[in-house]
Homo-oligomer: A and B are copies of this chain.
Amino acid sequence: MTVYNAFYAQSGGVTAVINASACGVIETARQHGDKIGKVYAGRNGIIGALNEDLIDTSLESAEAIAALRHTPSGAFGSCRYKLKSLEANRAEYEKLIAVFKAHDIRYFFYNGGGDSADTCLKVSQLSEALGYPITAVHVPKTVDNDLPITDFCPGFGSVAKYVAVSIREAGFDVASMAATSTKIFVLEVMGRHAGWIAAAGGLAAEAEGDAPHIILFPEIPFEREAFLKRVDECVKKHGYCAIVASEGLKNEEGKFMAEAGTRDAFGHAQLGGVAPVIAQMIKDALGYKYHWAVADYLQRAARHIASKVDVDMAYATGKAAVEFALAGKHAVMPAIRRLPDGGFDIIEAPLSQVANVEKFMPREFITEDGLHITQACRDYLSPLIQGEDYPPYANGLPQYVKLKNVAVAKKLV
């Protein structure tokens, strides 16, 4: 078997564990030097390939690559960039092929969500349309947890754990303060269109009265009166009310709540921040003192409290991607399958069934009143946050690796 180089790139919003997938890809490729030469990473994702801006990962030590497993974010840079169809932008695809040819690249590993699965599929089709053989394998990643076939998406389990831990801790805090001070706490979490992340907060509520008491999902139009009634009941019963709110929460007209309320000094609608809108609404209607937090990037970057299952599966999908490619599999994605014993293994998903297909949260995962999660949802989510996988610390701080990221000499002009 002739030796060819591989291309690896990270795409879209990064996560606490996408580098664990990179680690899986690179370490596995290094074990197969008889088939895979060098792994070239795209600097800032697919843009690195389009600009012939490749990183030579063979110049990184084994220790540095191993440290990717416990380093959040995208070590080679990511990008938000979606390739158009082959018909709409043939030149772009021809540039890709030219770069791959120039650097003897015949393996394409793309690490991302739904859009990148689509790009990966197009690259595989390109291979045939332009007559240059490329084995394209997609590596799943997205905190949004919206890829089909795979039981969950690497990146999601760690956000889920962070949100559940955080609302539990904040709930304890508010409970202490509620007698004379703060009675309301609102934690805003990611999820523009799907409530997976908000739902994960619900795992913290294991016993009657535990935080969070209310979860606000983007799938459920916000009903002001029913919500305020529930908040008031909760405060009267438990002394306080802790709420997890999706950033994508919408009102009954389908308008984002975060954009519905506030304006800056110039009258422009203020971007972001559903938490302060909800908190202020409660204060105005019920008079309760509030606090609110917006987790934003902290939630998806929180490698310090990553889920071990998530880290392991992120690595496993990276490893499986290389093994699939070496087995001649093409236009596929390693997907995670839940096993009856609560564990997980890896199966093969055809990219044609992954690209442009979104997995939504089932309605039966949300309680009938729309304000919490059901047992079915718990049963699904709980395995994803199992285990801790602490990074190493020095000087009181987690030791995350910054790679050298040396550029490969350009061969095209």
Instruction: List A residues at the B interface (Cβ < 8 Å).
Output: 10, 13-14, 16, 43-45, 47, 71-75, 77-81, 161, 164-166, 168-170, 172-181, 185, 187, 203-204, 206, 260-265, 270-273, 275-276, 280, 291-298, 300-305, 307, 382, 385-388, 390, 393, 395-398, 400
Contact = CB atoms under 8 A, between A and B. Distances in A.
Given A71-B172, A176-B77, A396-B387, A293 B298 contact: yes
A385 B388 CA distance: 20
Given A203-B396, A262-B263, A273-B273, 17 more contacts: A14-B176, A44-B180, A73-B173, A78-B177, A80-B177, A168-B400, A169-B304, A170-B298, A206-B397, A261-B264, A262-B265, A262-B270, A264-B280, A271-B280, A382-B395, A382-B396, A387-B396
Given A177-B78, A263-B262, A73 B172 contact: yes
A72 B172 contact: yes
A293 B302 CA distance: 13
Given A179-B77, A180-B80, A272-B276, A301 B265 contact: no
Contacts of A390: 388, 390
Contacts of A178: 77
A305 B305 contact: yes
A180 B78 CA distance: 8
Contacts of A398: 165, 168-169
A14 B173 contact: yes
Contact of A78 (B75, B176, B382): B176
Contacts of A400: 168-169, 172
A47 B177 CA distance: 12
Given A79-B181, A179-B79, A265 B260 contact: yes
Nearest to A209: B402
Given A176-B74, A291-B296, A263 B265 contact: yes
Contacts of A386: 395-396
B305 A176 contact: no
Contacts of A301: 169-170, 172-173
